[in-house]
Amino acid sequence: MARRLSYLAEKHGLLPDTQFGGRPGRTTEQALLVLSNAIDQAWYKHGVMTLIAFDLKGAFNGVNKISLDASLRAKGIPAIARKWIASFMSERYASIGFDDFRTEVALLVNAGLAQGSPLSPILFTFFNSDLVDQPVTFRGGASAFIDDYFRWRVGRSAEENLAKIQSEDIPRIEAWAQQTGSCFAAEKTELIHITRRRSEQLQGQVVINGKTVKPSPTAKLLGVIFDHELRWKEHIQQAIKRATKVTVALAGLRHLRPEQMRQIYQACVTPVVDYASTVWHDPLRDKTHLRHLNTVQRAPLVRILSAFRTVASATLEVEAHVLPTHLRLRRRAQYTIARLHTLPRIHPIWGALLRAQRRRNNIGSYARFPLAEALKTMGLQRLDELETIDPSPLPPWRAEPFVEIEVGSDRETAVERAETTRSTSDIVVYSDASGREGHLGAAVVALDSNLETVESQQIQVGPMDRWSVHVAELIGIFYAISTVFKVAHQPSESLERRRKTATILCDSRSALQATQNPTNKSGQRIIHAILQAATEVQTKGIALRLQWVPGHCDNPGNDAADQLAKDAARPGKTHPFCPLLSRESARLHGNILNQWEQEWRSSNKGGHLRKIDSTLPATYTRRLYGSLPRN
C-alpha cells in the first residue's frame, strides 16, 4: 500500500512540492537548500527574512482518521484504498511491559498512525498537505519534513514580516490545527529574523494560541542551527560537541584493530560533522570553521594509529589514508551537487540550483551562498550533460516484460543451457561490450540455426571516463531487443514461427541483475528503456527471455559479439543516452586525491616521511596497519 500511494502521489502530483518528508528522492538537505536559496535571494534584494518553525505534538499518534480520510478523498485516492487505510487505523490494541510486568491489553481510542510502519510517513504527508501547500516566492514560502513545518516571510523590515505572519499565517495554521484535531508544541515553536541588520534581529513578537513567542538568536531547523547572520558559529560548535562525544565513546573500545577503528570513525564521526555541509560550508573560504573542525579528526587518528600526540595532522591523515577535513567537505559538496543535477527538472531543488549557477558568476561584496561557491569548483557543462535519475517509483502493478531472466550460478551448466537455447528459441541474439584504448563499444549479433549471422549492430558507447563496462552491457541489451524485433519481421517462409520466442544472451550477470531489479541508481534511464522496449516486443506476441552465457567459452555467438564490440570501441557516441553519475563521481574523487597528493608534496610537514616513502598518500598504508593487533 505504501508503494501504491507513493506512486500515485508522485505520478499525479498530489502532494506539495515543498513537502520533503516520506517521499522518494527528497532529503532534509534539499529542504534546507531551498530555504538557504530563499534567504540569499532576500538578502540580495536587501530584504529581511522572518521564519517561524512549528513542531506537531505527537505527530503520528495524533493523526485523526476522519481528517486523513477527507484529505485522501480530496486527492482522489480510490475508495478501496481509503477503506483499507481506515481498517489499518482501527481496532488497534496495546499494552505496556517492562521486566516481568505487563499491563492488560487495551483498545486505543485514537490510535493514529503506527510508529515504525512504512505506510505512516506517506499517510502523514497527505494528512498535513493542506498546511504545507504554499508556493515559494520572493515574498515568502513554506516547507516541511514530516512533522517539522516552517513558514517564512520576506519584506523590507522585521516589523512588516511579523504583521503578515500574525494576521495571515497564524490564523490559517490555527484553523488547520482545529479542523484536523492537531496540536502544535508551543515550547518548540521558534521565531528568528535572518538579517545582518542588528537593530532588527530581536524585534517584535507573535502570539500563538494565547502564548507569546519572541525572536531568538538561533533556530534549529532539521538538525542545522541557523543564526541571525548565517555565520554558523553555533552550528559548528554543536557539530564539534556531538562528534567529540562519539570520539570519546570510540576511545573506550578495546582490542580493535586499526582498520576497524578507522571504519567506525568514518561511519560514526564524520557523518556528524558533514551533515548538510552544502548549506553551511563554503569550500573556498571557511578557513576559520576548518581550523576548529580539524581538531575533531586529529584525536581519533592518533588513537587509530597509536601515534605520538606530537605527530602532525597531515602525517596522520596520510598514514591512515583519511582525507583532510577540507578535502572531505569539498568532495561531499561536489558529490551532492552532481547528484542534485541528475534529479528531474520538475524537482523543487532545481530552482535553487539554477539560481546558484547564475550566482556563482557574481562579483561583489554580497553575502556568501555556499551552494554557489561550491559550484565554482566544478564544470557546469559536465553537470548539465549528466543523466537524469528519476526517484519516482515504477507502477507496483506493472507486468513483467520478460518471460524469464536466467542469471545462472554454475558456469558449466550455463554453457550447456546456451547451447540448447539455439534449438528451443526461435530467435537467438547475443550482446556484448568491450573496452579498448580508453573507449567502450557494444555489439549485437543474431545467428540462425546454421550459426550464420542474420543481423548485427555496433554501438560506440563513449570514453571510459564517462561510461562503464556495466552500462555498455546494458546498452547492448537495449539494442539487442530492437534486433529481435527486426529479425522477427524479416520476410521468410517461417515468419509466423519466428514471432513466438526470442532469447538474448549476455555475458554480464550484473547487467541482467540490474534489469531484473531496477533501482534509482546510475544507468536508470537505460534500464527503463530496456523495460519499455521489451514491453513493446511482448505486445507483438514475442515471448522474450534474457539469459546469461559465460564469456570466452568458445560460444560462436558470444565470440562474434565480443569481436564486434572491440571494433566498436573507438571515439564517438552513437546512442541517445547521457553520461553516468557514477563515472562523474569517480572523476571527482580522483581529482580530490590528486589535490591531496599535491598538497602533501608541497607541505612543510612530514618531510622525513616523504624521504622514506615518496608514493604517499596511498591505500596500501591501510593494509600495512589495518590488521596489526593492538596489544
Tens digit of each residue's pLDDT (9 = 90 or more) over 344-382: 999 999 999 999 999 888 765 566 799 999 999 999 999
| Residue with the larger pLDDT of the pair 58 and 323 | 323
* pLDDT above 60 (res 495): no
Tell me, what's the pLDDT at 365? Answer: 53
Q: Does 492 have pLDDT greater than 80?
A: no
pLDDT of 167 reads: 94
Mean pLDDT of 124-137: 91
Read off the pLDDT of each residue in 498-518 and give the average, rounded to a whole number: 89
How much of the chain is in helix, strand and coil states, percent to nearest 5? 50, 15, 35
| The pLDDT of residue 631 | 64
Q: What is the pLDDT of residues 585-609, one digit of tens each?
A: 999 999 999 999 999 999 999 888 9
Task: Give the total residue count for the chain.
Answer: 631
pLDDT at 493 over 50: no
Tens digits of per-residue pLDDT, 202-223?
A: 999 999 988 899 999 999 999 9
Domain boundaries, the chain: 2-224, 233-384, 404-579
Identify whether the C-beta of residue 139 lies closer than 8 Å to the C-beta of residue 39.
no
What is the residue-wise DSSP string for 500-545?
Answer: SEEEEEES-HHHHHHHHS--SSTTHHHHHHHHHHHHHHHHTT-EEE
The one-character DSSP state at 93 is E
d(CA 443, CA 61): 57
CATH 3.30.420.10 fits 404-579, yes or no: yes
pLDDT-derived band at 278 (thresholds 50, 70, 90) equals: very high
- Taking 80 as the threshold, does the pLDDT of residue 541 lie above it? yes
Residue 552: what pLDDT?
84
In angstroms, the CA 59 to CA 482 distance is 51
Strand partners, 137: 140
Residue 428 φ/ψ, nearest 5 degrees: -125, 125
* Residue 287 pLDDT: 87
- pTM equals 0.92
d(CA 480, CA 474): 10
- Report, as an integer, the average pLDDT of 269-282: 96
Cell of 199: 537593530
Q: Confidence class of residue 250 from pLDDT cuts 50, 70 and 90?
A: confident
Mean pLDDT of 191-210: 92
Q: Is the pLDDT of residue 629 over 70?
A: yes
